Amino acid sequence: MQKIILSKSQKKILLEHTLKEEPNESCAILYGNKIEEKNIVKEIWLTENIDSSPTEFTLSPEQTWEMDQKRKELNLEIIGIFHSHPKGEAYPSNTDKKFMENNPYVWIIYSGINKNFRAFIFNLDSVEIPIQEK
Ligand SMILES: [Zn+2]
């Protein structure tokens, strides 16, 4: 079973970004290493949601390009995509699932109503995986 390792301070970084972007969805790219089934987050890149929407998020083509540049600079893998659901549960929407299928990373979602993080991978459907603090 896969899991993702996200430290307390990394959660804080994501949470602060989320609060700053509310009422819109926020997003971030998680870089790190994958060792067997363990996805270890090492660096977080806070990105801009060009949709400025409370129910959707999109990265600009420039950010998509930069996302790959950063991966090379950091010499890490892209292991996860973070986004928030300010007014929803921390579960992937149908739109999220379509993106998950094409972007096979760990997807972390934060719920603004339940104040919790959940992580998912896509395998025929979204499957929840544990988030471990260390
Ligand atoms: Zn979503």
> Going by C-beta distance under 8 Å and a sequence separation of 6 or more, which residues neighbour residue 36?
none
- Read off the pLDDT of residues 96-110 as tens digits, 9 standing for 90 and up: 999 999 999 999 999
Q: Are 76 and 43 in contact (CB under 8 A)?
A: yes
Per-residue pLDDT at 134: 79
**C-alpha of residue 108 to centroid of ligand 1, in Å:** 9
Rounded distance between C-alpha atoms, residue 47 and residue 126, angstroms = 23
**C-alpha of residue 24 to centroid of ligand 1, in Å:** 11
For the chain, what is the mean pLDDT? 96
Ion ligand 1, residues whose Cβ is below 5 A away: 93, 96
Q: Tell me what the mean pLDDT of segment 62-78 comes to.
A: 97
Rounded distance between C-alpha atoms, residue 42 and residue 39, angstroms = 10
**C-alpha of residue 85 to centroid of ligand 1, in Å:** 6
- Read off the pLDDT of residues 26-37 as tens digits, 9 standing for 90 and up: 999 999 999 999
What domains lie within the chain, and their CATH numbers?
A: 3-132 (3.40.140.10)
**C-alpha of residue 9 to centroid of ligand 1, in Å:** 23
